[in-house]
Structure 1
Amino acid sequence: MTQTPPTPRLSASEKLVVAGAAAATYVGASMGGAVSLALPHIASDLHFTAAQVQWIISGYLLARIAGLRPGGALCDRLGARRIFLLSMTGFAVTSIFCSLVSSEALLIGLRFVQGAFAALLSPSALVLLRSHTPPSKIAAAMSIWSAAGMAGFGLSPVLGGMLLDAWGWRSIFWVTALATIPIVFVGFRIREKAAPQSTARKPSILGELAVAAMLAAVAYFVGQYDWAMLCYALAAALILWLLVKREAALRPDTWMRGFAMAPQVCVGVFTFAAIVGSMLWASYFIQVDLRQSGLVFGLGCLPMAAAGFLACFITEPLLASKRSNLTFLLAGLSILGLGSVAYIAERNASLPWAISALAFAGLCYGFANASVTAVIMSIFPAERSGDASSIATLSKQFGQLLGITVVAKFRDLSGKAGGSDPALFYFLLMCGVAVVVCAALHAMQGRRLVIRA
């Protein structure tokens, strides 16, 4: 009888790296969940308009989108450990300042700066994870990393709700700052491990900044619903990329790698649009429409966390056996369930149905998060891990911005009016269909287009 080989266990040094990357991911993800919870209270306290409320989230995401590509290039050039320590320290300092401001302009500006540090955090944590984890253990490490992100999304609203009821929305920011201190100490204990040397030319930081500026412009016009300017920005971004990356653009493997990544990038965009859009909808629906407290919303996120953890651990063996197409399919089906249940909740003004919708959002996260990152990073060689991780994270950030934009279009984020346009739920269903189609494309691709050179 053939025995199944035991799952490789992580060594002490590998556990330290995984713990640092997972904790940093938890802090970054928890900020998103906690701020979504606090938005109605921030709007009421500082008398924000709906547009200003949207900028609290969109400004953060725009800065992340603009900074991810340069952040990945900096990791490959200067070392992931340095960038990790810089990003965690900057994230903590900006969180402290966010807790002290009383001006809408200052808060929005600080959220931009915080997003820039978060852009450095994502690729640096993933590069450390990949460079310190052997291939036989990467699936387990990625599952732990993904579960930490799910904990940030699903459990932070509970803590955030308790803080909100006890000390107000400002406490969310200073508690986040305190949480980063032990992570910085872990970062100092991690030893930098150089990636394998490559004869390939290192990415140009100035070139990445130029491309980042155009990506930010594209993201901005998505948020403004200015479709003409969006088309111009897309065209300009493509032209600028061809100019800055003209040597790479002439190589066939660049285009082959792009085709190999396309389904995974789209899965990241549409899945996270559905997840973040549904969380923002649920925050307003439960607190404004149903007139429940922030703590009730936080407790309602516990089933989301439980479902997400379950999906993360289902995903691990599927990734290890190279069946990521199944995880993408499960993510797409979960989004379809999310859109359907959220529509029922809105129509019946039902808290249990809203909590069920959040549970589906947890499944979406667990099935898609690690899968998108692992597959995209497998397409690139180890010395370009920063580039790969920035692309994976970039797809998710674009998705989050898209989800927030759609919610802002179909309901009043100032909290002065309740109810959502049914088109919001049709959008969630379309995201599910798109992810199912991408899963089919990924399955048809197989490994034919994966080029590591």
Structure 2
Amino acid sequence: MASPQEEVRPWPALWALVVGFFMILVDSTIVSVATPSILADFGTDVGSVIWVTSAYLLAYAVPLLVTGRLGDRIGPKKMYLTGLTVFTLASLWCGLTNSIAMLIVARVVQGLGASMVTPQTMAVITRIFPPDQRGKAMSLWGATAGVAVLVGPILGGVLVDGLGWQWIFFVNVPVGVIGFVLAMRLVPDLPTQKHKFDLLGVALSTVGLFLLVFGIQEGQKHNWDQTVWLMIIAGVVIIGLFVLWQARNRNEPLLPLALFRDRNFSLANVAITTVGFAVTAMAIPLMLYAQVVRGLSPTKAALLLAPMAIISGALAPFVGRLVDTTPPRYIAGFGLACNVVAMTWLSQIISPDLPIWQLLLPMALMGVANGFMWAPIGSTATRNLPMHQAGAGAGVYNTTRQVGAVLGSAGIAALMEARLAHYLPGMSGSVGGEGAASGGKLPEVAQQGFSDAMAQSLLLPASVLVIGLIAALCFAKPVRRQPPAAAAASGDREGLRG
């Protein structure tokens, strides 16, 4: 067990956890910019290469409820170190593979490792930081999440152009080793509780989420046929049975439904689902437009996201102080509103001959949005959680974010396909992927139609973010808990008055 001295050093522990958390989130987006290189190297089809990303996303999203609860049972530090080890070794495996099938299998293992790590970061924040300091801690967590999602494509472009696609995985190995050593030394061993493990809940949640996510992810590929819809419906039904079982289970449910009695926890989960949706959905049409219409290299296209990453990171300390002193509905509401405006703005200006600098203006506004969204939503979700349910709550929160990302990927793909069919009838719906893979631009006659399709697709994430904005504006003002000393002094004063 950790010594008392270790227990009272929350900031070094958080910085140690951030290393692994950042690496895992970067891997959620880093592969997208390497897709053409992987496709050319293995000589395979686009559908197979897409599974390199999809397999990771599925393996990451599906177990999150389970791994969050496991952290409560065996300890978040042990779970984090185990997940980081699995993730790092799987990254090495990914870089050494010589077939597309083996790469997909390695990505599944990598996603499982990531699912073990992510819930533990929020659980540790909830358990080692007092409520009046969690805002600053969550600002660091939020900045890490926001910047990592944006840095992924930029880092991927640089590594692919300079060293080859294998290095987007090899780079994780030294980072993983450093993260393991830091976490071993700086993260305290927190008390655990002997829980009965809800095996039926594990089975229902895993099968239900897998069917739902798999159906959504494969829907576009199979033209949303009957099999896809049966999988999605079956997933929804099984998740419904899971919720019913959680309500009836009087022992140790996997998902304590009492968490949702807290208004802010429920609303924060709605908000983060829309953020996950929008962040994933926004990047796809933007990257296709930049490479296929404007002819930018993967690195130059990814650099369009640089203003978001820089501004979001720079705002983190300022927003962290605000979160501890200002009602979160104002901070998160401002960030979400900025994002709605930025995406709508972007959708109105995209065209084949738009000066690149004009794209950077809404990108900068998205940086402001990201700086103000992540920390207040995260701290609002976890502020009132009981300590023994921190892992369960973090698992729910991260699951909703990841499922939002899956929905964003599937939704934007369906809308892009529909708009391309409208503006470019007779052309293949995969024209964008083929153009990027060949390293060339679309014929000039097709550029306007393609630009219009991508621009209009951006209205989908903007619309979904409006739901998140409404949820954030409905956050209740958090109760400010007094530090123990202050509470004792207050009690003494009341006693004297009596």
TM-score interval w.r.t. the shorter chain?
A: 0.7 to 0.9
Residue 48 of structure 1, CA deviation: 4.5
Matched, 1:80 2:76: yes
Q: Secondary structure at the match of 2:188?
A: coil
Partners in 2 of 1:326 and 1:143 — Cα distance?
15
Range 116-125 or range 101-110, more displaced: 101-110
Partners in 2 of 1:421 and 1:284 — Cα distance?
8
Aligned equivalent of 1:363, options 358, 368, 379: 368
The equivalent residue for 2:171 is: 175
Matches within 5 A, 1:102-117: 102-117=98-113
Q: Which has the larger radius of gyration?
A: 2
Aligned equivalent of 2:234, options 226, 232, 235: 232
Q: Which amino acid aligns with 1:390?
A: G
Matched, 1:390 2:386: no
Aligned length: 434
Partners in 1 of 2:259 and 2:286 — Cα distance?
40
The equivalent residue for 2:412 is: 407
Report Cα offsets for 1:310-359 as digits up to 9, x if no partner: 44334323321251112331232122223223324533453334444443
- The answer to whether the Cα contact below 8 Å between 2:143 and 2:374 also exists between their aligned partners in 1 is no
Q: How many percent identity over aligned positions?
A: 21
Compute the TM-score of the two structures, normalised by the length of structure 1.
0.86
Matched, 1:61 2:74: no
Matched, 1:431 2:425: no
Aligned equivalent of 2:329, options 325, 331, 347: 325
- The answer to whether the Cα contact below 8 Å between 1:20 and 1:183 also exists between their aligned partners in 2 is yes
Cα RMSD over matched residues?
2.9
Range 253-262 or range 404-413, more displaced: 253-262
- Distance 1:357-1:55 versus aligned 2 partners, 3 A rule: farther
The equivalent residue for 1:29 is: 25
Report Cα offsets for 1:396-450 as digits up to 9, x if no partner: 10121122213333153872156345541221221232122222333xx5569xx
Matched, 1:295 2:291: no
Matches within 5 A, 1:268-287: 268-287=272-291
The equivalent residue for 1:5 is: none
Report Cα offsets for 1:52-103 as digits up to 9, x if no partner: 3432222212112211011111100001111111111111111111112232
Residue 202 of structure 1, CA deviation: 5.2
- The answer to whether the Cα contact below 8 Å between 1:53 and 1:414 also exists between their aligned partners in 2 is no
Partners in 2 of 1:303 and 1:120 — Cα distance?
31
Partners in 2 of 1:298 and 1:355 — Cα distance?
12
Instruction: Mark the runs of 5 or more structure 1 residues left unpaired by the alignment.
Output: 1-9, 449-453
- The answer to whether the Cα contact below 8 Å between 2:277 and 2:406 also exists between their aligned partners in 1 is yes
Matched, 1:210 2:204: yes
Partners in 2 of 1:413 and 1:406 — Cα distance?
18
- The answer to whether the Cα contact below 8 Å between 1:53 and 1:413 also exists between their aligned partners in 2 is no
Q: Secondary structure at the match of 1:182?
A: helix
Aligned equivalent of 1:377, options 377, 382, 387: 382
Range 297-306 or range 224-233, more displaced: 224-233
The equivalent residue for 2:488 is: none
Range 290-299 or range 84-93, more displaced: 290-299
Partners in 2 of 1:208 and 1:353 — Cα distance?
49
The equivalent residue for 2:434 is: 416
Matches within 5 A, 1:183-198: 183-195=179-191
Partners in 2 of 1:414 and 1:112 — Cα distance?
26
- Distance 1:72-1:304 versus aligned 2 partners, 3 A rule: same
Partners in 2 of 1:413 and 1:398 — Cα distance?
27
- The answer to whether the Cα contact below 8 Å between 1:48 and 1:414 also exists between their aligned partners in 2 is no
Partners in 2 of 1:330 and 1:220 — Cα distance?
34
Q: Which amino acid aligns with 1:285?
A: Y
Aligned equivalent of 1:316, options 320, 325, 337: 320
Residue 228 of structure 1, CA deviation: 5.3
Range 325-334 or range 344-353, more displaced: 344-353
- Distance 1:423-1:277 versus aligned 2 partners, 3 A rule: same
Residue 283 of structure 1, CA deviation: 2.6
The equivalent residue for 1:441 is: 474
Matched, 1:163 2:132: no
Report Cα offsets for 1:110-164 as digits up to 9, x if no partner: 2222111111110122223332323332221111222223332333444332221
Instruction: Mark the runs of 5 or more structure 2 residues left unpaired by the alignment.
Output: 1-5, 418-429, 436-441, 443-449, 480-498
Residue 227 of structure 1, CA deviation: 4.5
- The answer to whether the Cα contact below 8 Å between 2:273 and 2:401 also exists between their aligned partners in 1 is yes
